């Protein structure tokens, strides 16, 4: 691996800070009491009132707690294990590490820009920054011209490419279906609050997905279908990242339901389908990596 010392520092800091952030979200016990907050759209929002996410809505606080649980139980161990094998020279280890860093980057971008301000804000910013630079260094550590040699000819590119394009299409229509109906076409300055906006300023997750995840899924899917070198790399990263991210989303939905939050049946169905397809894609990928 290139930039070994720098990567060791970045990965060590990510492991330490994410562990502290996750445990703080799970164990922090400050109580201010549940209360209602009226948003700028005159929507009454029930705030959590306890813990690190006391000023977040019950829905987002439930997502944060579930995400913290998945991070400390799954993502941090994956980061440590994949780091060990990547530094040993394992190609699979490098792919797993890059995909896992994609999870950390996405997660702490959302914490930085969506979660209500709390004592760990600077920690979220640090984790977002550290994950970004580590992710970029890992991407640039691969030799694109020779990456195809690591994959068997039997790699099911139609399944892997189709899986990613399916994710892109479903996310595109899922989020546009939430956003477009809120815009008045008679007067473009008039909008209504989309479902789930609550007391937040904008749709951060939907913006990240439409701006980064959807285009990446389309480009990666098309590239792997044509067996382009960049397609092998991006597809591997997307699939490894999808496993951790979709596990976190599943945990979020379960915790939201336990917290009494109404969940869209369409979103539940879509993300469960993503989970199953991602698991199948990961199995196929690992079976066909030399």
| Alpha helix (H) residue ranges in the chain | 4-27, 58-70, 76-87, 91-113, 121-139, 144-147, 157-179, 204-208, 214-225, 229-258, 265-287
Terminal CA-CA length for the chain: 18
Helix axes 229-258, 214-225, angle to 10 degrees: 140
| pLDDT of amino acid 218 | 95
Question: What's the pTM?
Answer: 0.90
Structure tokens at 263: 């969940």
- Mean pLDDT calculated for residue range 217-223: 95
Task: Summarize pLDDT for 39-81 with one digit per residue, the tens.
Answer: 777 788 888 888 899 999 988 998 899 999 999 999 999 999 9
The ranges assigned to domains in the chain are: 4-287
| pLDDT of amino acid 225 | 95
Task: Summarize pLDDT for 148-165 with one digit per residue, the tens.
Answer: 899 999 999 999 999 999
CA distance 168 to 273: 13
CB within 8 Å of 98: residues ≥ 6 apart: 135, 138, 139, 236, 237, 240
Helix (H, G, I), strand (E, B) or coil at 223: helix
Task: Summarize pLDDT for 17-46 with one digit per residue, the tens.
Answer: 999 999 999 998 766 666 787 877 778 888
C-beta of residue 204 within 8 angstroms of C-beta of residue 114: yes
Task: Summarize pLDDT for 83-140 with one digit per residue, the tens.
Answer: 999 999 999 999 999 999 999 999 999 999 999 999 999 999 999 999 999 999 999 9
């Amino acid at each position: 691996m290139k930039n070994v010392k720098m990567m060791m520092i970045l990965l060590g800091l990510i492991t330490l800070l994410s562990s502290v952030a996750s445990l703080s979200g799970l164990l922090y016990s400050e109580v201010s009491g549940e209360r209602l907050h009226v948003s700028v759209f005159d929507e009454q929002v029930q705030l959590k009132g306890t813990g690190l996410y006391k000023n977040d809505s019950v829905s987002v606080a439930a997502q944060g707690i579930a995400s913290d649980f998945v991070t400390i139980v799954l993502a941090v161990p994956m980061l440590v294990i994949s780091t060990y094998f990547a530094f040993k020279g394992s190609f699979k280890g490098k792919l797993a590490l890059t995909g896992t860093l994609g999870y950390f980057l996405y997660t702490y971008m959302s914490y930085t820009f969506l979660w209500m301000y709390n004592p760990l804000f600077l920690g979220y910013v640090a984790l977002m920054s550290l994950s970004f630079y580590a992710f970029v260094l890992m991407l640039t550590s691969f030799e694109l011209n020779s990456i195809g040699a690591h994959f068997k000819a039997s790699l099911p590119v139609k399944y892997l490419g189709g899986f990613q394009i399916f994710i892109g299409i479903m996310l595109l229509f899922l989020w546009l279906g939430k956003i477009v109906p809120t815009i008045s076409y008679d007067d473009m300055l008039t909008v209504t609050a989309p479902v789930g906006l609550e007391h937040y300023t904008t749709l951060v997750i939907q913006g990240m997905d439409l701006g980064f995840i959807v285009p990446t899924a389309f480009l990666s899917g098309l590239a792997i279908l044509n067996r382009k070198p960049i397609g092998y790399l991006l597809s591997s990263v997307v699939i490894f990242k999808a496993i951790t991210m979709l596990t976190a989303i599943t945990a979020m939905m379960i915790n939201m339901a336990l917290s009494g939050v109404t969940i869209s049946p369409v979103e539940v169905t879509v993300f469960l389908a993503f989970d199953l397809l991602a698991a199948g894609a990961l199995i196929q990928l690992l079976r066909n990596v030399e």
